């Protein structure tokens, strides 16, 4: 039986840009940084890792990472204040979550969500 996800690792073509992006959203840097080949952030009880990839390494849409946050609207405002352009605005979904989507500079789709009360 699977118990949890420990970490997810995303490729990046520009570690400095990627680190700035995730730090601007409130991710806590644990290891690595702008000049590193590998960087790790805290994501709740797990980790979000970034690994540098050569320019010729390309990827297409692969899916979405969903992060639960304390306040979806505050996270949306933080992203906008940092100059990022989410692809959706926060909304209540029929499956019982409030969420919005944001694509990182390397094309990885992220969702920031929170379960609705009483669901």
Task: List the structure tokens of 42.
Answer: 């805290």
User: What domains does the chain contain, in order, with CATH numbers?
Assistant: 7-53+64-115 (3.10.180.10)
* Stated pTM of the model: 0.89
d(CA 22, CA 28): 8
Q: How far is CA 48 from the centre of its chain?
A: 8
Q: Which of 7-11, 23-27, 48-52, 59-63 has the lowest mean pLDDT?
A: 59-63
CA distances from 36 to 13, 16, 28, 31 (A): 12, 9, 16, 9
pLDDT digits (tens, 9 = 90+) for 46-103: 999 999 999 899 888 788 999 999 999 999 999 999 999 999 999 999 999 999 999 9
């Amino acid at each position: 039986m699977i118990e949890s996800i420990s970490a997810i690792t995303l490729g990046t073509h520009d570690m400095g840009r990627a680190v700035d992006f995730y730090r601007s959203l409130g991710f806590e840097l644990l290891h690595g940084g702008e000049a590193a080949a590998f960087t790790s952030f805290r994501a709740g009880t797990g980790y979000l890792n970034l690994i540098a990839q050569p320019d010729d390494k390309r990827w297409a849409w692969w899916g979405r990472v969903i992060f639960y946050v304390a306040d979806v609207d505050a996270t949306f405002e933080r992203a906008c204040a940092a100059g990022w352009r989410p692809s959706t605005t926060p909304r209540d979904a029929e499956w019982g979550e409030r969420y919005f989507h944001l694509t990182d500079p390397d094309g990885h789709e992220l969702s920031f969500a929170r379960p609705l009360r009483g669901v």
